[in-house]
Each structure stands twice: as structure tokens, then as C-alpha cells.
Structure 1
Amino acid sequence: MTKEDALPIDNAHQTRARVRGLGRNPALPDRLVPRILAHPAASATDVIHRREWSDELFDIIAAHPDGRLRAMLAQAAQVTAEQRVRMVDDPDLQVVFALLEGPYTRRPQPLPVWAYHKLAEHPGLKRMLRFLHPPELSSAAVAAFTDAQDEEIAAWARTSDEPEPMTAERARAIAAADSVWEKANIALEPVLPADVVAALCADPDPKVRTYVSMRPELSEQQRTAIGYQVSTNDRLPRLAWVLEAGGEQLQRCVSSAHPGLRRSAARNKRLTADQIAKLAADDDFPVRLLLCENQEAVPTDLVVRTYLEARVITRSQLLAHPSIVGGDLTRYADSPHWGARALVVLDRHAPAELIDRLSRDEHPGVRSWVAHDARLSQERLLELFEDPETTEAAAANPNLPVEVMEAILEAPIDTGNPPENPTLVLGHTMPSHEPITEI
């Protein structure tokens, strides 16, 4: 097979799609990574965050003249702490902050204390302290900064461990002032004078009333009387007292009419099977979402249905749920919902014949999901590669021939008039959903 046979280029749009897909290909050879990072159609974020890094390739990109790329590398999920620590002498402040924030993973490996002390010596760091709050950096970095040689940096870090104490006088002053944010912030303080609680319960702002209505000492009747307002789109705080609840108190939270209590209850690790089942049938979408995000003992159907309904930017994390990773997803092959049919490719035990069948599904979304699956025959893969609707996904298939990968990068493209960069608009994190009852 020649490059010309494998890659008939129809237009620049198709070339760009193939380059984007190639950037996500886990089998992209190391020698092609610098080339794709220099390609005008490539997504550097995809290339850097979706691959494992050899020490040789890491050192090449760590020395790249573009500080933006180096900062991405410093936070890539697959980069090890041993590799990241080799960047502590980087002169670019954005790289320093990337190292201090840490990688975008659930359990990031911290750098050694000496490395954080070294980063604290960057001349631009102190100028930025007044614009930062300690939670904006990794907990390991802040902890290391508390005994940094520079006293200004050490004092900044210690502010996260020494919050201003809440006194009765301070609470009354906040409750009598106009700051909705400050009043909502103190509404869940464990110890508040009764007159402050009463004032917050009667506050004209619904946010303040909603926050104070989630106090542990209130009865269901008292909560209702406060007149709180909670919508599906509202982000509510995690209630420490609910997360620590057990026994009868936890049952009251699970059965509460207040969505805020049920949302925090969904995170509680002491939930019984009956309580999980009750929350799984909750009318409030965030309750079901939080249940899937925090409980392993939820059925596969609930996780799949929640994934299909979700419009949050973290929805893809649901696909790492144990009930998805170890579940039988082949039962969705004939689902009326194309999104459920597409999930069959996540089942490691799905036979190649079924994968091939789904690669011919009537919905292009299903075909695109299947196009990057390694169980496809090379013949079928190249057919999908030629299809404009699936060519991007097929370019991400690890079985794509290397000569085709090279041809993608060599294809002519108009660099003088690239498409406008897509804009990600972040509005509500929990927009309205269309409930899915059957899959």
C-alpha cells in the first residue's frame, strides 16, 4: 500500500479532521509527535494529554521554545513526577504555575519538597501572590511553601491553615451587612448564635435562605418554612455534617425533601443498598449524578442513563465507573438510543463481529465511536477512514498504518485561512436534562 493509495485527500476540512484524530492516536510514534505539534490543524492539548511519555520524548518537548506547550506537558496526566521535576528550572512563569498546580488527575503525584522550594524562588512568583488563593495550587505545593525560605511566600501559604476565627460579633456584623456571598458563606458555620441563624432564615436573598436551610439542627418543617429555592442548575456546597452522618441521621438526609441534603447524602460512603436504591430513583438529576460519581455499588443501567442525560463537562468521567469498566455493555447493542449503542465499544469482551456490525450503524455517532476500536479489521478501518463522517475517529485508531499517519501529516493544507478557533462557552454546569427511562 502506498501513501497515495491510502490517503486520497478531498479537501482541507478532511485533512484537518484527520490531523485532529491522529493527535488522539495512542500508537502515534514518538518521532511523529514533534511534527504533529507543529501542524496548524493539530490540537496540542489532545496530543500532550492523551499519550504516555518516554523520557526521551519528554525531554524534547520540555525543551520546546513554546512555553504554552511546556506548561501543558507539566500538567499532562501521563507524565510522572520524576519527569515533571526535571522542569523546575524552567524560566517561564506559566510553566512554574503548571508545576505548582499539578496534573489534572484525581490522585496526582506530588513533587518532592525541595522542588517546590526551588519553584518558590522564581522571581515572578511573589508578584503574583496577591492575585492567588492557596486552593488554586496543589495541596502539596502549599504545604511545602509554609516553610519556604522567603517569609512572604511562607506567610501566604499559612493563610490556608489559619482561617479567621468566627466570633459571635463577627457573625452578627456579617448577617447585618449587604454581602450575599459572606452571609451565605457563614450560614453553615457549625456554631452560630440563634439570633444570627434567625436573621439569615429571614434574609431577602434566596441564596442565603437556601444555605441556612441546610443546617443540621433544623427539622424538615423548619427547612420548608424558610422558603429555600433549589433548581437543577444550582451548585450547592458539600455538607460536612451529612458526609459524616450515619444511622438514623443519614436516613433522614436520604429521605429529606431538601435536594441539598440528598445531594450530599449521595456522596456519603456509609450508604446502605436500600439507600442507594432510593437515591438512584431520585427526581433530582444532580442527586443521581453525584451518586454515580461517588458510589461504586450502583447498577450499570443507572450510570449509562446518567451519562446519556448529563450535560456537565465532567460527564466523560462516568465512563471510568466500575460498573461500566467491568459491566456487560453488549446488551445495549440494539438500544433505541444511539449513545447507548456507542458505549458497547467500552466492553472489552464484546466480540469483533459485534464491533464490525456497529461500525455500520445507521447513526454516524455510533460509527465514529467504533472507528477507533482496535478490534476492527484493517480493511474496515480504512473504509471508515475514507468516510468523511468517520475519518477523524478512524485516524485515532491504534491500528492505523504508520505510512497513513505520515501521509496525514504530509497532506497539503491551506495555512493562510484556518477555521476560527472553537469557543467553549461555560454556562450552567447542570443544565436541564431530558430524562431517559429506557435504554
Structure 2
Amino acid sequence: MSNPLRGLARNPALPAAAMLRLAGDDRVSRWDLTARPAWSDEAFDTLAAHPDPEVREALAQSPGATGEQRARLAGDLSIRVLQAVLEGPPVRWAGPLPDWVYRRFAEHPEPLVRDLLVYLPGTPRDVVALLARDRHPGIADAARALLDRKPCEPTTMGRDQAVLFAAEGSDWDRERAAADPALPAEWVAALATDPSPRVRLAVSTRPELTEAQRAAIDYPTDVTPPLDWVLACGPAELDRCVRSGHPALRRAAAGHPDLPADLLAVLTADPDPRVRELLCAHQAHAPGDLVLDTYLATGDEDLLRHPAFPRTDLARLAPDPAPIARALVARDPAAPPDLIHRLSRDPSEVVRAAMAADPRLPRERLLELLDDPVTAEAAAANPALPARVVARLLADLGVR
């Protein structure tokens, strides 16, 4: 059963006064209140001034807010709100914070705020350099250690420990040994035929192996281990990983922060669907068609926020047999109103709900969908909902 109050909370046309009334209603969570896909500056600023820090904390992590809007909370007096500003929305492809926010936090009088910056993945390196001179010794030491860390430097347990784990350890210990750079070659060869599939997989992803050596190992392909050495490797080694017959290396390469356009093109055509999924998850310049196809195959809603997700030519999906595809028609600004109207009567609840939030719907059809318990929440989020209907709905639902 849908909840019209949740729909009203994310309606971009909801007046500020009504939004504040909803903020005080126990039936609407602070996350419902901040779940709208986009914010006007007026609406954002209204909630940014709310006296409840939990509301402001949720606002700081709203997926629909831009980085510039979230930056307006950088002067908040609540440490939890500041932490939420730094952590950002719990989704991929959220708009980044402006650099000045990090510099401002680096000068914050509260050590906890400055300490958060050191361990935040998005903190610019020049800000970490500022923190390396922090008056708090612990913060300065941590920042210097981060600056001194070499990105390609592997960690190792040492030869003796690696051999001990390989010879006498549990499956988990042998798996650790199999991936350790200090493990001698004879033990690498021995673990390549280990009874544990995960141990054999760890051996097969060692950087020094040739393609022939990898292919000779019976490793599982349904597991994707984290391969830090791939993410940190240089151009020549990255090229080798992209063209490897080992899917785990290609999957790791899909997340490389400096993947060049030519290698991105190679992975776009990769036969492994997991490689293509990871490419869309990590690469802002992945082709739009690939992002769309991956969304239709996986239903991963984070991909709807991908910078390359198509914003046009989605009306062509109206005849598609998959409801998840037909629902995308509402995202096409060129979709004709009569098509939106027709799809609002689609047999799929998913499709009808997507059309219910579209302002191109005829008013009479919108009101019908508002009266339908299945689509009431989506219809309540429609910015074309008349003000008198919004007022009546708030009164009927007992919002004071």
C-alpha cells in the first residue's frame, strides 16, 4: 500500500509551510522528507533552517541535493550534520562538494571534524597537506602518513609468516598467503592446486603470473575478490589486465580511477556481464547505451543517476515487454502527453506509478490515480497536483 504523505513530502511544488508541517508529523520519517529527486534552493533552505538536527542531517545526505546545496550546511553547529555533509548521500553519482568546503572544515575549531577529513576518501590532497600541519598531533600524524603512503606499495605479512600460513593454516590463512607478495614461488605453485577454490582464486590473481599460468589454474569465476594492485597499477599493467582472460582482473580494471578511453571501449564490449556492470558503477564516461542496458538487466536504481544515463529517446521503450523499461518513458521530456496517459493505464503497477508522478498527465487522470491506493503515493508527488487538492489531502490525512 502506498503512502500519500510520503509522496507529498517529495512533491517539488509543495509549499514551504506545508513541508514544515510534514516535518513535524511522526508518520513521515526524516528520510521520507528528504527523498525528493531534486531540490529548489527555496525548499532546500527551508529544511536547512529546521531546528531538528536529525532533519538537517538527512538533508545533508539527500540523493537529490546538489553538492553546492549540501555545502550550505557546512556552517551547521551539529557535528553529526557536518559529518553527514562530508560523507554525502549513500548512493553513487552524487554531486561532489565544492573544494572550499574541505578547506573550511580543515580549519574547523572542533578536532573531530578535522579528523574526519583525514580518513575521507574524497578529501583533496592539498587539504590533507594542510592537515599534516594541524595543531593536534594525532591529526597531523595521520595526515602525514596518508601523504607518505605509496599507492602501489603492497602490504605483506613477510616470507616466514606467509609460508607458515600456506603450510599449516586454515583455508582463510592459506587464502591470505596465496595473495601475499612475499610468498615464495614454490609455495605459489603448491597453492595453485589447493583443495580450496578461494585459495586457487587468490593464486590466480597474483600480478606476476602470465596468462598461461592463470589459465592453468582451476579457479572459480563467480567470486570477485578485491584486487588493490589492479586499481593502483600503471598504464602498461592496466592494459594487460583489461585484455586478460581472467574475469577478476578485468572486473577490477573496470573500477580503475584512471581508465583511459581506449580501454574503456574494450571493456564496454566485454562478454562478462559483471565487467560491464562494474564499468557502469565506476566510470562516469561509460556509454549511455551500456548504462541503460545495464539498468534494464539489473534494476540497479543508482544507475538512474549516472551522468551518462540517457535523458532522451526513452519513449521508444513504450512497447517493451519489461515494465522496468516502459516506466522509463516518464523520464523522456519529449514523450507525448497521450503516451503518458495511455501508460497510466498499463497493467503493471510499476508503470502506472511512474506515470502518476508525471505532470503531463491530464488532471482528471491524475486525480483518479490519487484515489487509487496503489498509485496514490506517486500521484501525491506530482508537481501538477492542484494546490486545493494538496490542501484537502493534508487536511484529510490530519496533518496539522
Q: Following the alignment from structure 1 to structure 2, what is the Cα–Cα distance between the partners of residues 54 and 171?
A: 58
User: TM-score when scaled to structure 1?
Assistant: 0.72
In 1, distance between residues paired with 2:156 and 2:375?
63
- Equivalent residue, structure 1, for 2:72: 83
Cα contact 1:325–1:346 (8 A) shared by 2 = no
Q: TM-score by structure 2 length?
A: 0.78
Q: Which amino acid aligns with 2:329?
A: V
Say if 2:136 is the partner of 1:145. Answer: no
* 1:348 maps to 2:338: no
1:42 aligns with 2:28: yes
CA distance in 2, matches of 1:230, 1:236: 13
Name 1:291's counterpart in structure 2.
Answer: 279
Matches within 5 A, 1:272-351: 275-276=266-267, 278-279=269-270, 282=271, 284-293=272-281, 294=283, 296=285, 298=287, 300=289, 302-310=290-298, 315-321=300-306, 324-351=309-336
* Residue 156 (str. 1) matches residue 142 (str. 2): yes
Per the TM alignment, residue 27 of structure 1 is displaced from its structure 2 partner at its CA by: 1.8
Please report how far the alpha carbon of residue 370 of structure 1 lies from its aligned counterpart in structure 2 after TM superposition.
0.8
**Cα deviations by residue, 1:261-308 (Å, 9 ceiling, x for unpaired):** 2323445433369735631xx2x33122123343746463x5444213
Q: Separation in 2 of the partners of 1:162 and 1:201?
A: 35
Deviates more, 1:36-45 or 1:185-194: 185-194
**Rounded Cα–Cα distance in structure 2 between residues aligned with 1:242 and 1:70:** 40
Q: Aligned partners of 1:182, 1:65: CA distance in 2, in Å?
A: 52
**What does 1:219-298 correspond to in 2, within 5 Å?**
219-231=210-222, 234=224, 236-237=226-227, 239-240=230-231, 244-245=235-236, 249=240, 252-253=243-244, 256=245, 258-267=246-255, 268-271=259-262, 275-276=266-267, 278-279=269-270, 282=271, 284-293=272-281, 294=283, 296=285, 298=287
For 1:285-337, what per-residue CA distance to the aligned partner results, in whole angstroms no more than 9, with x for missing partners?
3122123343746463x5444213315xxx22322456642442222211111
Query: Shift of residue 242 of structure 1?
Result: 6.8
Are 2:188 and 2:203, in contact at CA under 8 Å, matched by a contact in 1? yes
Q: Aligned partner of 2:33: which letter?
A: V
Q: Give the corresponding residue for 1:52.
A: 39
Change in 2 beyond 3 A, CA 1:272/1:362: same
Match of 1:437 in 2: none
Q: 1:172 to 1:407 in 2, by over 3 A?
A: farther
What amino acid is aligned across from residue 54 of structure 1 in structure 2? D
1:391 positional shift:
0.9
Structure 1 residue 52 displacement after superposition: 2.2
Alpha carbons of structure 1 residues 402 and 244: separation in structure 2 relative to 1, 3 Å = farther
CA distance in 2, matches of 1:114, 1:340: 44
% same residue: 36
> Are 1:211 and 2:198 an aligned pair?
no
Q: Within 5 A, what are the aligned runs for 1:331-410? A: 331-410=316-395
Residue 289 of structure 1 aligns to which amino acid in structure 2?
Answer: E
Deviation track 1:59-88 (CA, whole Å, cap 9, x = no partner) reads x5445443322222333433536512221x
Partners of 1:157 and 1:181 in 2: how far apart?
Answer: 32
Shift of the alpha carbon at 1:200?
Answer: 5.9
1:317–1:248 Cα change, 3 Å: closer
What pairs with 1:130-141 in structure 2 (closer than 5 Å)? 135-136=119-120, 138-140=122-124
The aligned counterpart of 2:106 is 116
Aligned pair in 2 of structure 1 residues 225, 246: CA closer, same or farther (>3 Å)?
closer
Paired residues, what number? 380
Is the CA contact (8 Å cut-off) linking 1:355 and 1:370 kept in structure 2? yes
Q: Is the 8 A contact 2:178 2:202 kept in 1?
A: yes
Moved more, 237-246 or 60-69: 237-246
Shift of 1:390: 0.9
Structure 2 residue matching 1:409: 3-state secondary structure: helix
Secondary structure in structure 2 of the residue aligned to 1:360? coil
- On the 8 A contact 1:368/1:393 being kept in 2, the answer is yes
Matched AA of 1:118? H
- The secondary structure found in structure 1 opposite 2:74 is helix
Q: d(CA) in 2 for partners of 1:95 and 1:31?
A: 23
Letter in structure 2 aligned against 1:358: L
Q: CA deviation at 1:395?
A: 0.8
1:370–1:143 distance in 2 versus 1, CA, 3 Å = farther
Contact kept in structure 1, 2:311 and 2:331, CA below 8 Å: no
| Alpha-carbon distance in 2 for matches of 1:244, 1:291 | 17
Please list every run of 5 or more consecutive structure 2 residues that lacks an aligned counterpart in the other structure: none
The 8 Å contact of residues 21 and 399 in structure 2, kept in 1 or not, is answered as no
> In 2, Cα distance between the equivalents of 1:93 and 1:295?
31
- CA distance in 1 between partners of 2:343 and 2:156 (Å): 65
Amino acid at match of 1:108: L
Tell me, in whole angstroms, the C-alpha distance in 2 between the residues paired with 1:152 and 1:45.
35
1:213-258 Cα offsets, whole Å, 9 max, x none, are 2234322331133332231x645436236773489736632xx1x2
Q: Distance in 2 between matches of 1:291 and 1:276?
A: 7
* Aligned partner (choices 154, 168, 173) of residue 161 of structure 2: 173
Q: CA deviation at 1:358?
A: 0.8
